[in-house]
Each structure stands twice: as C-alpha cells, then as structure tokens.
Structure 1
Amino acid sequence: MDSLITAAARALAAGDPLGALKRVALRDDAPALALRGIAMARLGDFTRAKELLRRAGRAFGPREAIARSRCVVAEAEIALVSRDLSFPSKSLAAARATLAARGDALNAAHAGYLEIRRLLLIGSLDAAERMLDGLDPAPFPPALRVGHELVVAGIAMRRLRTQPAREALARARDAARRARIAALAAEVESTAHLLATPAARLIARGSERPLLLEEVEALMASKALVVDACRYAVRDSRTTISLNRRPVLFALARALGEAWPQDVSRSLLIARAFRGKHADESHRARLRVEIGRLRRALQPLADLNATPDGFVLEPHGRREVTVLALPVEEEHAAVLAFLADGEAWSSSALSVALGASQRTVQRALDALAATGKVQSVGRARARRWMTPPVPGFTTTLLLPAPLPNG
C-alpha cells in the first residue's frame, strides 16, 4: 500500500473525510476509489459514494476478495444510513463470511452489526439478539465498540429494559471518547436523548400525562391492568392478550379503559367501534356480539359487566385500569414515527419497515406532504422523504470510522 492510501485511510479512521479526499481525490485505482467512496459517504453524498464503491469493487481483481468484500460492507453501510432497506442481505452475509474466512475479524464483525441494525429498523428483535449473541466485543477497537453498545442499548430500549440501556450508553460514551470521532459521540448522545423524551401517554381516570420509557417499564411491571394502544393488547405484568388482529375488540377495550371506573354508554361504544353516527338496531345487535367476544377474550384478566346505560370493565382483584397510548396519535402516525429519526427514507424502505404495501405508504406520504408534515427530495427512484428540520435536532449518523483498506 502506498503512502497516500495509508494517509487517507488514517484520516478516515480519525474522522477527517476532507483530509482523506485531499490525498486521493484525483486517483482512480481501486483502493483510492474505495476510500473516496467512504469519504463521500461521510460527507453525506450517498449517491456518489455508492457509485465510487461499486467502481472500486469491480476494479479489485478476483484475487482481492477481502478488498471486494470490504466494498460490499461499505455499500451496505451507506444503504443503511440512507434507509435503503432493499440492499440484498445475502450479499452482505457473503461478504461477512469471506472476511471472517480470510482473517479480517473486525470488518466481519462490522458487517454483522450492519445486519443487526437493519433488523432493529424493521423490528426483528429476536433475530437481532441471536446475531448479537454471536459477537464478542472484547477485541474491538473503540469505534466498533461504540456500534456494539448502541446495538445493545437499542435492543434494551425496545424490550423496555432502561437500566441495561443506560449502562450500554455509558460504555458507548466511554468508547466514543477513546475513538475521538465527533460523529460517534453525537450518535451516542442522540440515542441517549430518547431516554429523556416522552415515549407514551398514560390515560387514567379521565386525565392523561406523558411517560418516559422508564415509566412505561414501571407501568408494565405494576399490578395495573393496561390497555396497550401502542401494541394493541390488554395486559398485566404476567399475562398479555393480543388484539392486534381484532381492531373492533380493541376499540371497545380502549373506550372501556379510558372511562374506567365509569361505564360507557352503548351509543358511544357503537361510535368508537363502528364509526356509526346514528345507532340503529343492526348496530346494537352487532355490539352485543362484539361485547360477547371481548368478554371471552378478556376473561383471564377482567370481567365485562352490563349497566343500565352500557358496559363497564371490572378487573380481577383490586387494581387500576390504565390506557397506554402513543405520544402523538393522528392519521399516519406510524409513518411519522419512522421519519422522526431525522433520516431521509424512501417509500420502499418505509414499506419494508412498516410491513405495508408501498402504495399504502405512498398515499400516507402524499397526505402528510399536503399538510406540510413531511417533505420530499429527489425524483423517481431517488425520491426520499423526511420531516421538516427542527432547530437543535441532531440527526443520527450510522457511519463509524472505516477500517483502513490493506
């Protein structure tokens, strides 16, 4: 490796993409193309970065399997930070296997973390945890250790384990200080900010208040009967009854939970469950059927009793009934929740993450754009969506310091 390539790689590892470009900007050999691609990614020009990395991958000869695999890993990293979830996971897995077989354990581990972070984005927590269990972070340099701890914290927060999340973030801060890379430190602080941001709303006895993640964790461990409008379930600390595929039953359960300990009139239940403006005999007949189904579904946790005006929820044992709701509830709230990370998403990536059709997602984006809640950049397949910038908001940077190509 010549001195300019070595110097550029060291500049990138130190978090100085401009310094790296000064050394290799005019060169078109394979190592220089790879370093230029990584540098452009660090500067935010992902389209140019992907083009350079693909050229580098083609320029490396068939005997340079490690270098070609590193280009695949770098391209996968760019796809992740630009929210292109369609990047072929098989290509990344093959590159990871090649790197591991050729003795490049650090870049192989980095490829594993990219796949884990993709799994986190699409909500596959079990698969992410299984992959994480197979990675030993002890020999990693500080930059890669930051990525490991952020993954640990991300899984812990999604599992409502705030103390392990705080411990992982403390380790991530320490590793970021040792790495001396500002982008990594910013990402750690951005993740830590989530613990101080309302994660849900508590509705009980006619009032509501915001809850932090640790308060949600405490609520789930309490004796309260929780109507969980975040996951469409009714639960206590030991039993969970999912109503995710039964929207009418959940609408009835939520109405009863919000009114507890009072009853809810039949006309209001009909309006909440069936969206009917005027209740007729067919609505009342259907309500009787659905109430019977809800009574059977909730039998392990509560009774559903009739009153002169309607119905009331009676939890087993002396305990409170609360409703756990999203921080903001409006049409297309799930789309806004993903865009709130500050990154630019394609409609296809949102479709993968939400488990919905791309056409459904596109209609939601068009509706949000019409009210000024989201905005788009680019056209056709390069079109990306984001929320309007908020002063003081730090975007999440997923590109840790690249390892030198050697």
Structure 2
Amino acid sequence: MDSLITTAARALAAGDPLAAFKQVALRDDPPALALRGIAMAQLGNLARAKELLRSAARAFGPKEATARARCVVAEAEIALVSRDLGGPMQTLGAARATLETNGDRANAAHAGYLEARRLLLIGRLDESERSLDELDLDTLPLASRTGYWLVAAGIAIRRIRAESVRAALDRARHAAHKAGIPALVAEVDRASRAFDAPAARLIAREGARLLGFGEVEALMASDALLVDACRNVVRAGTSAVPLAGRPVLFALTRALAEAWPEDVTRETLLTRAFRAREADESHRARLRVEIGRLRKTLKPLAGLNATRRGFVLKPHGATTVAVLAPPVEEDHAEVLALLADGEAWSSSALALALDVSARTAQRALEALAEDGKVESFGRGRACRWLTPNVPGFPTSLLLPAPLTRG
C-alpha cells in the first residue's frame, strides 16, 4: 500500500474528503477509484460515488476479493443513505461473509451495523437488535460506533424506553466527539433534539395536551385504558388489542375513549366511523353490526354499554381512559414521519418501511406533492422524495476506510 493511498484513507476516516482528493484525484488505479468514490459520497455526489465504486470493484483482480467486498459495503451504505433499501443492500450479507473469511473484522462489523440500520428503517426491530447484539463493538471503525449507538437509540425509541434512549444517545455523542468528525456530532445533536421534542398528544374529554417522550412511557406503564392512535392499538397494562387493519372499529373506539366517562351519541359515532353527514337506516344498521364486533373485540379490556343516546365505554380494571395521538394529525402522516429524517426516500423504500404496496406509497406521495408538503427530484428508478425544507443530503455518511488492495 503506497503512502498516497494511506494518507487518503486516513483523511476519509477523519471525515475530510477534500484532503483525500488531493492525494488520489488524478489516479485511476482500483484503490484510488474506491477512495475517490467514498470521497464523492461524503461530499454528497452519490451518483458519481456509485460509479467510481463499481469501477473499482470491476478493476480489482480475482485474487482481491476483500477489496471488492469493501467496495460492495461502501456502495450499500450509499444505497442506505439514498434510501434504496433493496438492490445493493441485498449483496451486503455476502460481502460481510467475505470480509470475515479474509480477516477484515472492522469492515465486516461495519457491514453488520449497516444491516441493523436497514432493519430499523423498515421496522424489523427484533432483527435489528439481534444484528447489533452479534457485533463486537470494539471491532467497529471509530466513526461507525456513533451510528451503532444511533441505531440502538432508534430501537429504544420505537419501544418507548426513555432511559435506554438517553443512554444510547450519550454513548453516540461520546463516540462522535472521540471520532472528531463534525458531521457525526451534528447527526447526534439532531437525534437528541428530535427525542426532546413533543412525542404525542394526550386527548381526553376536557381537552388535549402535548406529551414528552418520558410522559408517553409513563402513560403506557400506568393502569389507564389507552387508545393508541399512533399505532392503532388499545392497551391496558400488558394486554393489547391491535386494530391496525380495522379502521372503523378503531374510529369507534377512539370516539368512545375521547368522551369517557360520558356516552357518545349514535349520530356522532356515525359521523366518526362512516363520515356520514346524513345518516339513513342502512348506516344505522351498519353501526349496530360494527358495535357488536367492537364489543366482542374489546371484551378482554372493556365493556361497551348502550345508553339512551348511544354507547359508553366501561373499562374492566382501568381507573381512567386516555387517547394517545401523534403531535400533528393529517392525511399520510406516516409518510411525512419517515421523510422527516431529512433523507431522500424512493417510493419503493417508503412502501417497504410502511409495509404497503408501491402504488399506495406513490399515491400518498402524489397527494402530498399536490399540497406542497413533499417534493421530488430525478426520474424513474432514480426518483427520490423529501420535504421541501431540507436543502439536500446531510453529509453524515459513515463509510469504512481504508479501501485498499486485499
């Protein structure tokens, strides 16, 4: 390994792509192409970065499997940042196995971290956590440890564990400062600000108020009958009744919970469940059917009694009833929540993360674009979507270095 390649690799590891360019900008040998590709990625030119990395992978000889695998890992990270969660990510496992076989433990660990990060993005928390648990943190490159702890924080956020989130963010901050890369420090700061922002709204008969993350955790641990409009679940202690695929039943449950301990009129329930402005006998007949289904569904947690005006919720053991809703509710809020991370997503990646069809995700994006809430760039498979207030890709890309001949 010559001195210019070594110097460029060290510059990239320190988050200084311009210094790396000074060493390899005029070279076309495979290691230089790979390092130029990583430098381009850190500067935000992801399309050119992928071209250079693919050229480097083709140029490495048949005896240089380790070097080619490092290029695959780097390209997979670019795909992760650009939210292309299929394609290059599918070759990551084979590249990791090659690196482990050939003794490159640092880049193999980095590939494992990338897989855990991808699994978190698509909501597969158990698999993501297992991937993290399998990693030896000491073998990770210094810069990658920040990402490791951010993934751990993301898992804890999804599981509503405030103390675990704080601990992971503190470790991520320590790792970022130790790495000395300003972009990593900024990424941790953004994650911390997001954690400190209001996490949900508590809605009750007397009104609504915003809750912090710790308050949400305390509410879920209380003895309240909780109608969770963030996940479309009804909870009471350790018991839960999922209603994600039953929007009418959930709408009825939420209306009853918001009015508790009072009853809700049949006219109000018709409006909330069926959006019927002028209800006829067919609507009333359907309401009777849906109330019967709801009574059976909620039986483990609460009863549903008829009153002269309508119906009232009667929790079995809970002393209070509460509704937990997102801080802001609007159409396609789940799409906006994913785009809020500041990255540019493909519609296929959004569909994968939301577990919906590609066409459903595309329709949601088109509706949001008509309202000026999202915008796109690129065409066809290269089309990406982001929120208008984000100027471009953040420069917090974590890539392994050095990429040299195996």
**Common fold by TM > 0.5:** yes
Displacement of 1:89 after TM fit? 3.7
Task: Give the Cα–Cα distance (whole angstroms) in 1 for the partners of residues 229 and 383 of structure 2.
Answer: 32
SS in 2 for 1:241: strand
Structure 2 contact 44–394 (Cα < 8 Å) conserved: no
What do the CA deviations read for 1:305-337 (whole angstroms, capped 9, x no partner)? 111100011112351110011122111111111
Q: Distance in 2 between matches of 1:359 and 1:282?
A: 32
Q: Which residue of 2 aligns with 1:400?
A: 398
3-state DSSP of counterpart to 1:269: helix
Structure 1 residue 296 displacement after superposition: 1.4
Percentage of identical aligned residues: 67
Following superposition, the deviation at residue 113 of structure 1 comes to 0.7
Identify if the C-alpha distance between structure 1 residues 390 and 379 changes in structure 2 by more than 3 Å, giving closer, same or farther: closer
Q: What's the offset of the Cα at 1:291?
A: 0.8
Alignment of 1:166-315 (within 5 A): 166-315=166-315
Matched, 1:35 2:43: no
Residue 138 of structure 2 aligns to a residue whose secondary structure is coil
Select between 323-332 and 350-359 the one with higher mean Cα deviation.
350-359
Q: How far 1:22 sits from its partner (Å)?
A: 1.5
1:396 positional shift: 5.5
Deviation at 1:405, TM superposition (A): 2.2
TM-score (norm 1): 0.96
Distance 1:396 1:150 in 2: 16
Kindly indicate whether the alpha-carbon contact (under 8 Å) linking 2:110 and 2:400 is maintained by their aligned counterparts in 1. Answer: no
Structure-2 change in CA distance of 1:30 and 1:380 (3 Å): same
Q: Is the 8 A contact 1:14 1:401 kept in 2?
A: no
Aligned counterpart, 2:99? 99
| Residue aligned with 1:138, SS | helix
- Aligned partners of 1:70 and 1:24: how far apart in 2? 18
| CA distance in 2 between partners of 1:42 and 1:61 (Å) | 26
Distance 1:94 1:399, change over 3 A: same
How far apart, CA to CA, are the structure 2 residues paired with 1:140 and 1:113?
9
Aligned counterpart, 1:358: 358
Residue 398 of structure 1: how far off its partner (Å):
4.9
* Deviation string, structure 1 residues 343-393 (Cα, Å, up to 9, x no partner): 1111121121122222222222122111111111222322211101169xx
- Cα distance per residue 1:22-55 (max 9 Å; x no partner): 1111111100000000000000000000010000
Q: Answer with 50-59 or 333-342: which moved more.
A: 333-342
Unmatched runs of 5 consecutive residues or more in structure 1: none
The 1-side partners of 2:112 and 2:21 are apart by: 27
Compute the TM-score of the two structures, normalised by the length of structure 2: 0.96
CA contact (8 A) 1:143 1:179 kept: yes
Shift of 1:303: 1.1
Q: Is the 8 Å Cα contact of residues 226 and 234 (structure 1) preserved in structure 2?
A: yes
Q: Contact between 2:113 and 2:148, CA under 8 Å: does it hold in 1?
A: yes
Q: Are the aligned partners of 1:190 and 1:395 in contact in 2 as well (CA < 8 Å)?
A: no
Counterpart of 1:274, as a letter, is F
1:319-398 equivalent positions in 2, closer than 5 A: 319-389=319-389, 398=396
TM-align CA RMSD: 1.6
User: 1:6 is matched by which residue type in structure 2?
Assistant: T
The gaps in structure 2 that reach 5 residues or longer are none
Query: 2:316 matched to which residue of 1?
Result: 316
Greater alpha carbon shift after TM alignment, 294-303 vs 114-123 = 294-303
Tell whether the 8 Å contact from 1:81 to 1:398 is kept in structure 2 after alignment: no
Cα 1:96–1:398 change in 2 (3 A) is farther
Alpha-carbon shift at residue 205 of structure 1 (Å): 2.1
Alignment partner, residue 151 of structure 2? 151
Q: Is 2:21 aligned against 1:21?
A: yes
| SS of residue paired to 2:362 | helix
